[in-house]
Amino acid sequence: MSTVNDTKFQSAVFLLSGIPGQEDVHLWISILFCLMYVISIVGNSVILFIIKTDPSLHEPMYIFLSMLAVTDLGLSIATIPTIVGIYLFNSREISLNACFAQLFFIHLFECTESSVLLLMAFDRFVAICNPLRYASILTLPRIAKMGLVCVLRGVAVVFPLPILLKRFRYCRANVLSHSYCLHQDVMKASCSDISVNSIYGLFAKLLTMGLDSLLIFLSYMIILKTVLSIVSHTQCLRALNTCVSHLCAVLLFYTPQIGLSVIHRFGKGSSPLLQILLGYISMLVPPLLNPIVYSMKIKHLRVRIIKVFIK
What pLDDT, on a 0 to 100 scale, did the predictor assign at position 4?
A: 41
Q: Reduced to 3 states, what is the DSSP secondary structure of residue 124?
A: helix
- H helices present in the chain, as ranges: 2-11, 26-53, 60-89, 96-129, 134-137, 140-158, 160-166, 183-186, 195-205, 211-228, 233-266, 272-297, 299-310
- Count CA within 13 A, CB hemisphere, residue 275: 23
Cα Rg, the chain, nearest whole Å: 21
Q: Round to whole Å and give the CA distance between 161 and 48.
A: 30
Q: Round to whole Å and give the CA distance between 65 and 31.
A: 29
Report the 10 Å Cβ neighbour count for 301. Answer: 23
What pLDDT, on a 0 to 100 scale, did the predictor assign at position 173?
A: 65
Tell me how far CA of residue 64 lies from CA of 59, 113, 152, 217, in angstroms.
9, 11, 17, 18
Q: Round to whole Å and give the CA distance between 44 and 294.
A: 10
List 175's β-bridge partners, or say none.
15
Q: Which residues contact 232 (CB under 8 A, 6 or more apart)?
A: none
Q: Give the sign of the dihedral formed by CA 148, CA 154, CA 160, CA 162.
A: negative
Q: List the Cα angle 23/187/273 in 5-degree steps.
A: 30
Q: Round to whole Å and give the CA distance between 172 and 164.
A: 18
pTM of the model: 0.91
Q: Are 178 and 223 within 8 A, CB to CB?
A: no
Closest listed residue to residue 189, CA positions, set 163, 170, 165, 162? 170
List 13's β-bridge partners, or say none.
95
Closest listed residue to residue 243, CA positions, set 120, 154, 138, 152? 120
Q: List the Cα angle 5/11/13 in 5-degree steps.
A: 115
Q: Round to whole Å and give the CA distance between 169 and 252.
A: 36
Q: Which domains does the chain have, with CATH numbers?
A: 20-310 (1.20.1070.10)
What pLDDT, on a 0 to 100 scale, did the predictor assign at position 6?
A: 45
- Each of the 311 residues of the chain gets a pLDDT tens digit; together they read 444 444 444 447 888 988 877 777 888 888 999 999 999 999 999 999 999 988 888 899 999 999 999 999 999 999 999 999 999 888 889 988 999 999 999 999 999 999 999 999 999 999 998 888 999 999 999 999 999 999 999 999 999 999 999 888 877 668 888 899 998 888 888 887 788 888 998 899 899 999 999 999 999 999 988 888 876 777 788 878 888 889 999 999 999 988 887 777 676 666 778 888 888 999 999 999 999 999 888 878 888 888 777 76
Q: Reduced to 3 states, what is the DSSP secondary structure of residue 12?
A: coil
